[in-house]
Amino acid sequence: MLNFELQNPTKILFGKGQIANITKEIPTNARILMTYGGGSIKTNGVYDQVIEALKNHEIVEFSGIEPNPTYETLMKAVEIIRTQKLDYVLAVGGGSVIDGTKFIVAAVDFEGEPWDILAKSIRTTKAMPFGTVLTLPATGSEMNSGAVVTRVATQEKLSMGGPGLFPKFSVLDPEVIKSIPERQLRNGIVDAYTHVLEQYMTYPANAWLQDRFAESILQTLIEVAPKILADPSNYEAAANFMWSCTMALNGLIQKGVPTDWATHMIGHELTALYNIDHAMTLAIIFPNLYRNRFDNKKEKLAQYGERVWNITEGTTEEKAHAAIERTVAWLHELGVKTRLSEYTSDYAHTGEFIEKRFTERGWKGLGERRDITPEVVKEIVEMSY
């Protein structure tokens, strides 16, 4: 097991009716910017619950944060905070709203061009305080310090992070799931599943407990997926789905182990180029990344096949190959397409474009072994056609 540090300061309020308790978490004299997306919170009852809970607070609303939050939109919120001298932010939404809010609170007092936070990978150590009310389980952003933002003008989607970006608190009420469209539920399942794989599918590090934490989340997502897609109002399924998504990326299972994240880096480019749902880009990339880097990952692939899919026959290589194909079959069972050509006809030069972009950024070696060069990225993308 590798050396590590673990500190997660986010307070979780989990369960039915917890939105009412946010008034206890925000200072009474706070002037709040409430961020949200396209307005679904006004039809599913979440908006009314939040407004009621904060009826004694001053609130300025900022709506319109996109499913892939854009720098252009978020800077409008930054300007509102600066001009109206607000001092607290409440994100009410899914991972995109929360990610966008993290950029907002980091950018408000940033000296210089805020895009540099992402372009130059500047860690945020201090930011405006913010809390979240989660409406769409998927990204784990409600209990971690990472975020991803898109810049429309340059077709870039980049990540940011730092200890200043942990929410002060997050409300997780599984009842919100009953109003989520099937497409978004499917995205959430795939996103959380891939988050676990990015931290697990590397090479053995003798971190036995972390491996079994990761495997238990994968097994729970496999079990809960058909139940939640069939009946989003199933509270027990919704609760387990929501908590699995949070646990998939709150820092716990990555401690003491190597991590990959190349699938995400490549997938972000597909979203920026074609506006493909983030989770779907992951489903396009990770099976082919595993095929390409098979020799590096076969031991963990075989372990995954044995423990998660009960694949017990054959050699290490045979079990590893079977694990990849069983995972792809599961994605297809969920209704997920796993080839880039199934999302766009304009894919012929995608591999070359991403190779060039990664080279220009100096991203010379991604993955747990830092051996996924821009040339290898091109191979993986072209395998995904």
Give Dmax (Cα) for the chain.
65
- pLDDT at res. 299: 98
| In the chain, % of residues over pLDDT 70 | 100
- pLDDT on residue 38: 87
Indicate yes or no: pTM above 0.75: yes
Task: For residues 314-337, give the mean pLDDT.
Answer: 98
Contact yes or no for 124/164 (Cβ under 8 A):
yes
Rounded mean pLDDT of 351-355?
A: 97
Per-residue pLDDT for 306 more than 90?
yes
* Distance (Å, whole) CA 191 – CA 246: 11
Q: What is the pLDDT of residues 4-55, one digit of tens each?
A: 999 999 999 999 999 999 999 999 999 999 999 988 899 999 999 999 999 9
Report the pLDDT value the prediction gives residue 151, as an integer from 0 to 100. Answer: 96
Render pLDDT for 146-178 as a digit per residue (tens, 0 to 9): 999 999 999 999 999 999 999 999 999 999 999
d(CA 301, CA 154): 36
Kindly report the average pLDDT of the chain as a whole number. 97
Place of tokens 């079959």: 329
For the chain, the first-to-last Cα distance in angstroms comes to 37
Amino acid at 247: M
Q: Summarize pLDDT for 115-147 with one digit per residue, the tens.
A: 999 999 999 999 999 999 999 999 999 999 999
Cβ-contact 173, 129 below 8 angstroms: no
Determine what percent of the chain is predicted with pLDDT higher than 90.
Answer: 99
| pLDDT (tens digit per residue) in 175-223 | 999 999 999 999 999 999 999 999 999 999 999 999 999 999 999 999 9
Spatial CA neighbour of 47 closest among 93, 109, 8: 93
pLDDT at 39 (0 to 100): 82
In angstroms, rounded to a whole number, what is the distance separating the alpha carbons of residues 108 and 144? 20
pLDDT at 239: 98
Residues 218 and 112 sit within 8 Å (Cβ to Cβ): no
Output the pLDDT for position 65: 97
